[in-house]
Copies of this chain bind each other. A is one copy, B any other.
Amino acid sequence: MRENVMNLEVVLADGTIIKTAGLKGRSRKTSAGYNLTNLFVGQEGTLGIITEATLKLHATPEAVLSAVAPFKDFQGAVNATVAIMQSGLPVARIEFLDEKMVDACNRFSKLDLDVAPTLFLEFHGSKSNIETQGQIAEETCKSYECLKFNFATDPEKRSELWKARHSAWYAAQALKPGSKGYSTDVCVPISALPDIVTFAKDELKRLSLLGPIVGHVGDGNFHVFVIVDPKNPKDMELVHEYSVALAREALRVNGTVTGEHGIGLGKKKLLVEEFGPSGINTMKAIKQALDPLNILNPGKVL
């Protein structure tokens, strides 16, 4: 998302209105002054209130190919992901569901996908080159022992293929009636994914928690949808312990405690562990400079 934001209108703590990339700026790049745009994206309302955004638009691709590839194990799925990205193929989306999530989706969306760690892929391009891209992806997945490789280019079949991914959140919650999903959100270097996913599964076992997994594997970002009863304090304690353990493991392997959900209240302590006192003090200096009375979403992030 971040890279698609070209300009923001922001209301500052003292009521001043600024445009982060210049009063009228909407060029694709700029090196004029400090990069305020990226400072205000993701600050969770603690530095200013975003009231308008200028976004980069992307053309609708001429052709789209979707594919679903179940693998014998997660390591194979990650190896295939790395190989596809290194091949220079312009992969548009590459998502992962673990076997538990596939099982949940089969039940919820009445599908009959192989219950296995599965990659969901999407390629964008011209009609003439999209099938070549699909073939290369298929060869790559097969060389890492994927069990099968189903693909489609027409919109209906494509949406059928991606159905499981799109309803994953609801499918996970449907595993236990009355429960809610609590989503973890770490991001690590892709090479560290297999080990940390193993860690994530082992910890689920240790704490007797149910948690299907969805990953934006191309980014090294994944979510365990821990299924809990929010009214049960024991459940909430366990899921908190789990989330913290997973975040610390992410830090150990050079990752981050949050890939996309942000810090909020829950991960403030972990942010200190990620940046150390000096990094946090730098952020605090910026917060103090822009919001000296601490009136913008107070208590969050820092």
- A residues touching B (Cβ–Cβ < 8 Å)? 2-3, 12, 16-36, 38-39, 41-43, 47, 59, 61-62, 85-90, 124-126, 128-129, 132-133, 135-136, 187-190, 218-221, 250-251, 254-263, 267, 271, 274-276, 278-283, 285-290, 301-302
Contact = CB atoms under 8 A, between A and B. Distances in A.
Nearest to A62: B88
A218 B125 CA distance: 18
Contacts of A257: 32
A286 B34 CA distance: 9
Contacts of A25: 254-256, 274
Nearest to A250: B27
B18 A275 contact: yes
Closest A-B pairs by Cβ, 4 of them: A289-B289, A38-B38, A30-B256, A59-B86
21 contacts: A16-B281, A16-B282, A22-B274, A22-B279, A23-B276, A25-B256, A27-B221, A28-B220, A29-B221, A31-B261, A32-B258, A32-B275, A33-B263, A33-B301, A34-B39, A34-B47, A34-B287, A35-B41, A129-B136, A132-B132, A288-B289
Contacts of A43: 34-35
Contacts of A220: 27-29
A188 B282 contact: no
B274 A87 contact: no
Contacts of A23: 274-276, 279
A34 to B, nearest CB: 5
Given A26-B189, A30-B187, A39-B39, 18 more contacts: A12-B278, A12-B282, A17-B278, A18-B275, A19-B275, A28-B218, A28-B219, A28-B221, A31-B42, A31-B261, A33-B283, A34-B287, A35-B39, A38-B39, A59-B88, A87-B126, A285-B290, A288-B289
Given A16-B278, A88-B126, A132-B128, A251 B33 contact: no
* A12, A28, A47: residue with the most chain B Cβ atoms closer than 10 Å: A28
A216 to B, nearest CB: 8
Nearest to A19: B279
B187 A18 contact: no
A95 B41 CA distance: 30
Contacts of A263: 31-33
A35 B32 contact: no
Contacts of A34: 39, 42-43, 47, 283, 286-287, 301
A24 to B, nearest CB: 5
Contact of A89 (B19, B126, B136): B126
A121 to B, nearest CB: 15
